[in-house]
Amino acid sequence: MSSPTLLLIDPSMVVPEHQGMAVISAIWPGTVRTLFPALRNQWPTPDDLRAAQAVILLGSKASVHDDYPWLDALKIWLTPLLNAEVRCPTLGICFGHQLLAHLAGAKVGLREPTGHKLAAVVESHFSPNRLGVSGDLRVIASQCEEVKEIPRGFRHIATRPTCNIDGLEHCELPLFSVQFHPEAREDFALRQKIPAAAVDARLKADTTRLLEAFCQRALRSEPVVVTQI
């Protein structure tokens, strides 16, 4: 039996999220394939999706409204997942969360009219969901924009005072997303001017629990079924 493949897409525009990707790779029991659309022009293809057991789409300085060739290609690539033409467990993080919601028809915009960026350790409250994660999670948030409304076909699963729609899951498809950064550790925190000491044992345990829940959910899923792509 071949090793299950996780397709990890890092659309960072300045610095690759190496530490965060290492956190995810340590949790996934199979093969991890990484792509860098913005930094290295590595765009995912339909074959990449056919070979994947799961997809994780990380954060980016980009906005879902920007005009970049790599972003246009990524939007096209994600569309079959949202149209149920391909069923593959997918987790969108920060920019990934916003992009999935945007493609599903929701409004995405600045969290504050001034464009002020929030970068802080916060607590996100999870209501019952298919990942089985509940209660308050200590997490790192770093964002200028947010999802303004629940997209059609999705359910609201997480919230915090600084971000109402902090987590989503599709009502039928294996699509999940969070606005915060469960993969973030000390390197990410320091780049956001958050003290590394804030990345404490509870934060690591809470965010690892979320990532493990997604990976376990993905590994229990049936192989990807492609009706058309």
Query: Do residues 115 and 198 make contact, with C-beta atoms less than 8 angstroms apart?
Result: no
Which residue in the list 97, 102, 170, 181 is annotated as catalytic? 181
Which residue in the block uniquely carries the two structure tokens 């999802």?
Answer: 147
* CA distance linking residue 43 with residue 63, whole number of Å: 17
Active site residue 170: no
Q: What pLDDT is recorded for position 223?
A: 47
Helix axes 18-27, 201-220, angle to 10 degrees: 60
Q: How far is CA 71 from the centre of its chain?
A: 15
Q: What pLDDT is recorded for position 222?
A: 62
Which residue in the list 94, 97, 146, 169 is annotated as catalytic? 94
Active site residue 181: yes
CATH number of 5-226: 3.40.50.880
Q: What pLDDT is recorded for position 221?
A: 77
Q: Could you state, in order of their start, the residue ranges of all structural domains in the chain?
A: 5-226
Please give the model's pTM, rounded to 2 decimal places.
0.95
Q: What pLDDT is recorded for position 229?
A: 30
The letter for the amino acid at 30 is G
Which residue in the list 17, 145, 146, 183 is annotated as catalytic? 183
Active site residue 94: yes
**Partners of 167 in beta bridges:** 158, 178
**Partners of 135 in beta bridges:** 126
Residues in the chain: 229
Q: What pLDDT is recorded for position 1?
A: 52
Residues of the chain with pLDDT under 70: 1, 222-229
Two structure tokens written together for 188 = 């990410």
